[in-house]
């Protein structure tokens, strides 16, 4: 049976002679798939039509110049065993085939239906041959070995070097298998052999490191004048494979050591260690070396973490009293410093990327600490209100059309302030039960639009007050709810959103799933809207952010709607951060206003009457939010909750920041396990679940009398 599986995997005439039932069942499910697809070659050549054939028996995707040449040797082929086939987010026609060797085909079908047909058939074939590879475990044919037999292109000395170091790489694989077998039997070892086991593992690790070092030195020492160059693609792949293997071995050894320490000490307090498993790449955050977080007495080193005075589950469920008179104008710097550590930490990012596959969900993948922005995601959402004067002015519109256009203007100008600097950084993932409160003082209409009240001046009668509250209402999925209101103007906005991240090669895509609702009570209007996707580009060099996707805004009462399209930069040419929008009157199906420009630059509004209006986002006055000092905040308010992480990042102490961050994350896991064991439902503070939505428990449209702060928490079942 094993021989049959090998023959089936590699194809050939002998495979067709076999009568194994499994092979026939697989063949019966496969249909002949071939046809023309567009293949992306490079920036110069672009897209080209090629004739593709799916070879089910051999597990190959082959292509030819045209259908007439299919009886000749294929122009190229890609093995599907271990391959990942992913539909593209660019459009409904494109998809990618990523082979286990790292080679990629970017293809485009004629329509969405044809793409789905190709993707489904390719995935079935890839799954079958991947399972066959796992069962038979055939030796992988490395292209580095095949180079030595290509004749005059390489010297005998270079052939000897490649063969010698390939044996070293095989030795690494044997060490990895031996380590796995040894660890699987660790429970059978008596206590007096534990020390001997540790010594043996360290010796094996030292031997593997030496072989890896010799391999790298041999490749980098190759003469560039003859034979393969140190920059040869196959040798670079060999180096990367060896490095990834060594890093994986180092991580596994470190995890075993941590688990051994945890079993010996069994601390009753402080961060636990048993959650460190290979599937959680948390130890990759700072080059694979986890700082010591326990002393002999079990206490945490470094800055003392803020202890919980009572069970944190109960604390999280209590409502925090908000005294608006304690709020002061935020003094946090508006700009984030440049991400100078990117070049220094390139190995960490490369290591992390080696664990990922295209299309992989990054929701539970822990990213390195040095790329963190010094604030929580809940606080970042507050930046949507950085121009509260435009928000309050929506209800001043004299007609339904005017109010819709004002909302579109507010919406398009709300993203610029959310990016602190040109470098893309990631805010803290909020802890379940975490909250953030702030407010803004907005001068009334009788005052100049740019007249922002100064700190310490009285604004009770001359300013509108806009209040904001956000809460992390769920952990899986990570749902955030935020609500803002201006009681004097009888308007409020309620939004719930959760982010779903996806690895896309050299970028990361973040989809914003959820919906927002703006209520203008004075006019009895409700506007529903969604949020665009965000993309972190160039994650190996200087990461930056762009927005993409289509957003719909709709007001059912007035019949006006808007479609806003955030355009991502094309592969070649084009401008960054482009956006366009159309405001439409649905009953007449007529476009009444168009907008084009950049969401972080100049926007031009054009009406059907021919009137135009220009808004320069960079010149709009930014109203700083008002926040209570950390010492006056509750234990689960964002700035107080993350204060030790933020202070460590300011001091550029990444080890300490990682330590404090891990403490909060492990405490969350511990509380989640406790709730699961006791079958205790999570109680939110300010938001209630209504079907698939999360709604603020005391919104303006529900209350007859209003107060500037909440008075009682919602009662969850």
Three-state secondary structure string covering 585-634: ECCCCEEEEEEEEECCCEEEEEECCCCEEEEEHHHCCCCCCEECCHHHCC
Give mean pLDDT, residues 556-566.
96
**Cα end-to-end span (Å), the chain:** 57
Q: Which residues contact 517 (CB under 8 A, 6 or more apart)?
A: 493, 494, 495, 526, 527, 528, 529
Mean pLDDT of the 439-455 span:
62
CB contact at 8 A, 189 and 142 = no
Of residues 244 and 554, the one with the higher pLDDT is: 554
The per-residue pLDDT for 237 is 72
d(CA 715, CA 717): 7
**Strand, helix or coil for residue 305:** coil
* pLDDT recorded at residue 535: 87
Residue 649 makes CB contacts below 8 A (sequence gap 6+) with 369, 372, 374, 657
In this predicted structure, what is the pLDDT of residue 51?
94
Cα–Cα distance measured from residue 533 to residue 507, given in angstroms and rounded to the nearest whole number: 13
Distance CA 639, CA 435 (A): 9
Cβ atoms within 10 A of the Cβ of 266, count? Answer: 10
Go through the domains of the chain in sequence order and give each one's CATH number.
33-135 (2.30.29.30), 324-444+463-700 (2.40.160.120)
Q: How large a percentage of the chain has pLDDT more than 90?
A: 32
Output phi, psi for 508, to 5 deg. Answer: -125, 125
pLDDT reported for residue 578: 92
pLDDT at 584: 96
Coil, helix or strand at residue 38? strand
pLDDT of residue 224: 65
Element at 639 (helix H, strand E):
helix 638-641
Q: Is the pLDDT of residue 22 over 60?
A: no
The 10s digit of each residue's pLDDT in 211-241 is 888 888 888 777 766 677 776 767 777 777 7
pLDDT at residue 396 greater than cutoff 90: yes
Element holding 391 (H helix, E strand): helix 388-392
Residues facing residue 513 across a β-bridge: 498
Q: pLDDT (tens digit, 9 = 90+) per residue, 82-111? A: 888 888 877 788 899 988 777 889 999 988
Q: Taking the mean position of all CA atoms in its chain, how far away is CA 201?
A: 35
Tens digit of each residue's pLDDT (9 = 90 or more) over 672-713: 888 888 988 889 999 999 988 999 988 988 874 444 444 344
Is residue 469 scored above 50 in pLDDT? yes
In sequence order, the 6+-apart residues with CB closer than 8 A to the CB of 410 are 387, 390, 391, 393, 394
CA 390 to chain centre: 31
Q: How confident is the model at residue 592 (pLDDT cuts 50, 70, 90)?
A: very high
- The answer to whether residue 33 scores a pLDDT higher than 50 is yes
User: Mean pLDDT across the stretch 410-439?
Assistant: 83
Mean predicted lDDT score pLDDT of the chain: 74
> Between residues 671 and 250, which one has the greater pLDDT?
671
- Beta pairing, strands 533-537 & 525-529: unpaired
pTM above 0.85, yes or no: no
Whether pLDDT at 283 is above 60 = no
Give the pLDDT of residue 479: 93
CA distance to 200, 390, 541, per residue, from 364 (Å)? 34, 37, 24
- The per-residue pLDDT for 401 is 96
CA atoms of 541 and 537, how far apart (whole Å): 9
* Better-scored residue on pLDDT, 409 or 26: 409
Burial (CB count within 10 angstroms: exposed 0-12, middle 13-18, buried 19+), residue 562:
buried
Question: Of 24-33, 190-199, 416-425, which one has max mean pLDDT?
Answer: 416-425
Check whether 379 has a pLDDT greater than 90.
yes
Residue 617 near residue 599, CB atoms below 8 Å: yes
| pLDDT tier, 424 (very low <50, low <70, confident <90, very high otherwise) | low
pLDDT class of 426 with cuts at 50, 70, 90: confident
Going by pLDDT thresholds of 50, 70 and 90, the confidence category of residue 416 is confident
DSSP class of residue 531 equals -
Closest Cα partner for 473 from 507, 496, 445, 455? 496
Over pLDDT 70: what percentage of the chain? 64
At residue 363, the pLDDT reads 65
Greater model confidence, 361 or 184: 361
Amino acid 419: pLDDT = 61
Please work out, in degrees rounded to the nearest 5, the angle formed at the alpha carbon of residue 260 by the alpha carbons of 259 and 261.
90
Judged by average pLDDT, the poorest of 68-77, 124-133, 177-186, 520-529 is 177-186
pLDDT at 90: 72
Dist CA 172 CA 178 (whole Å): 10
Spatial CA neighbour of 665 closest among 430, 362, 481: 430
Residue 695's pLDDT is: 93
pLDDT in tens, 484-530: 999 999 999 999 998 888 877 777 888 899 999 999 999 999 999 99
Is the pLDDT reported for residue 398 higher than 70? Answer: yes
Instruction: Decide if pLDDT at 606 tops 60.
Output: yes
Among 88-102, 173-187, 368-382, 659-673, the range scoring the smallest mean pLDDT is: 173-187
Contact 548, 567 (CB under 8 A): yes
**Cα–Cα distance measured from residue 562 to residue 552, given in angstroms and rounded to the nearest whole number:** 6
- Please answer whether residues 55 and 11 qualify as being in contact, where contact means their C-beta atoms are separated by less than 8 angstroms: yes
Question: CA 54, CA 343: separation in Å to the nearest integer?
Answer: 42
Environment class of 434 (CB within 10 Å of its CB; exposed 0-12, middle 13-18, buried 19+): buried
Q: Is the pLDDT of residue 387 over 80?
A: yes
Q: What 3-state DSSP class applies to 61? A: strand
Instruction: Give SS3 for 282.
Output: helix
Packing angle, helices 233-265 and 194-220, rounded to 10: 160
């Amino acid at each position: 049976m094993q021989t049959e599986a090998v023959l089936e995997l590699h194809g050939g005439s002998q495979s067709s002679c076999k009568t194994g039932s499994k092979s026939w069942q697989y063949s019966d499910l496969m249909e002949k798939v071939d046809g023309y697809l567009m293949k992306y070659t490079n920036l110069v050549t672009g897209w080209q039509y090629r004739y593709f054939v799916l070879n089910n028996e051999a597990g190959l995707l082959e292509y030819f110049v045209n259908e007439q040449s299919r009886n000749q040797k294929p122009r190229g082929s890609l093995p599907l065993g271990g391959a990942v086939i992913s539909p593209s987010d660019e459009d409904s026609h494109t998809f990618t085939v990523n082979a286990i060797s790292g080679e990629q085909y970017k293809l485009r079908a004629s329509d969405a239906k044809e793409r789905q047909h190709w993707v489904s058939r390719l995935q079935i074939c890839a799954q079958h041959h991947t399972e066959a590879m796992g069962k038979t475990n055939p030796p992988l044919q490395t292209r580095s070995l095949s180079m030595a037999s290509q004749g005059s292109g390489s010297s005998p000395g270079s052939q000897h070097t490649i063969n010698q170091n390939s044996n070293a790489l095989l030795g690494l694989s044997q060490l990895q298998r031996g380590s796995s077998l040894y660890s699987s039997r660790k429970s059978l070892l008596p206590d007096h052999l534990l020390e001997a086991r540790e010594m043996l593992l360290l010796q094996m690790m030292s031997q593997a490191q030496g072989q890896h070092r010799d391999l790298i030195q041999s490749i980098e020492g190759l003469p560039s004048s003859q034979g393969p160059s140190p920059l040869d693609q196959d040798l670079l792949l060999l180096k990367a494979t060896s490095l990834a293997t060594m890093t994986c071995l180092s991580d596994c050894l470190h995890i075993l050591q941590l688990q051994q320490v945890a079993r010996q000490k069994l601390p009753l307090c402080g961060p636990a260690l048993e959650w460190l498993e290979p599937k959680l790449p948390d130890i990759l955050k700072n080059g694979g070396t986890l700082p010591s977080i326990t002393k002999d007495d079990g206490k945490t080193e470094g800055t003392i973490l803020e202890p919980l005075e009572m069970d944190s589950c109960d604390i999280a469920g209590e409502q925090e009293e908000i005294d608006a008179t304690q709020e002061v104008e935020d003094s946090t710097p508006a700009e984030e410093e440049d991400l100078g550590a990117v070049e220094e930490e390139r190995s960490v990012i490369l290591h992390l990327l080696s664990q990922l596959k295209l299309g992989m969900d990054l929701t539970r993948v822990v990213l390195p600490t040095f790329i963190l922005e010094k604030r929580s995601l809940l606080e970042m959402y507050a930046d949507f209100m950085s121009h509260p004067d435009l928000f309050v002015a929506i209800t001043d519109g004299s007609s339904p059309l005017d109010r819709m256009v004002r909302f579109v203007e507010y919406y398009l100008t709300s993203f610029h302030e959310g990016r602190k600097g040109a470098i893309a950084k990631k805010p803290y993932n909020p802890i379940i039960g975490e909250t953030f409160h702030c407010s803004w003082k907005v001068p009334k209409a009788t005052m100049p639009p740019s007249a922002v009240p100064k700190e310490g001046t009285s604004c009770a009668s001359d300013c509108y007050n806009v209040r904001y509250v956000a809460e992390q209402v769920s952990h899986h999925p990570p749902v955030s709810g935020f609500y803002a209101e201006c009681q004097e103007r009888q308007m409020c906005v309620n939004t719930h959103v959760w982010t779903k991240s996806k690895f896309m090669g050299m970028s990361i895509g973040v989809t914003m799933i959820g919906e927002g609702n703006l209520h203008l009570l004075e006019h009895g209007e409700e506007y529903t809207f969604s949020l665009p996707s965000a993309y972190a580009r160039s994650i190996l060099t200087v990461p930056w952010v762009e927005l993409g996707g289509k957003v719909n805004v709709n007001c059912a009462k007035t019949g006006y709607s808007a479609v806003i399209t955030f355009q991502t930069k094309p592969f070649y040419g084009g401008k960054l951060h482009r956006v366009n929008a159309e405001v439409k009157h649905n009953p007449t199906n007529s476009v009444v206003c168009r907008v084009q420009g950049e969401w972080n630059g100049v926007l031009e509004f054009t009406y059907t009457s021919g009137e135009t209006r220009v808004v320069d986002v960079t010149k709009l006055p930014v109203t700083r939010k008002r926040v209570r000092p950390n010492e006056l905040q509750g234990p689960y308010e964002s700035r107080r909750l993350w204060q030790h992480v933020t202070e460590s990042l300011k001091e550029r102490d990444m080890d300490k920041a990682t330590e404090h961050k891990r403490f909060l994350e492990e405490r969350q896991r511990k509380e989640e396990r406790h709730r699961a064991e006791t079958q205790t439902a999570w109680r939110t503070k300010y938001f209630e679940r209504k079907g698939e939505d999360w709604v603020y428990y005391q919104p303006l449209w529900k209350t007859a009398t209003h107060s500037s702060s909440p008075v009682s928490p919602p009662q969850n079942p």
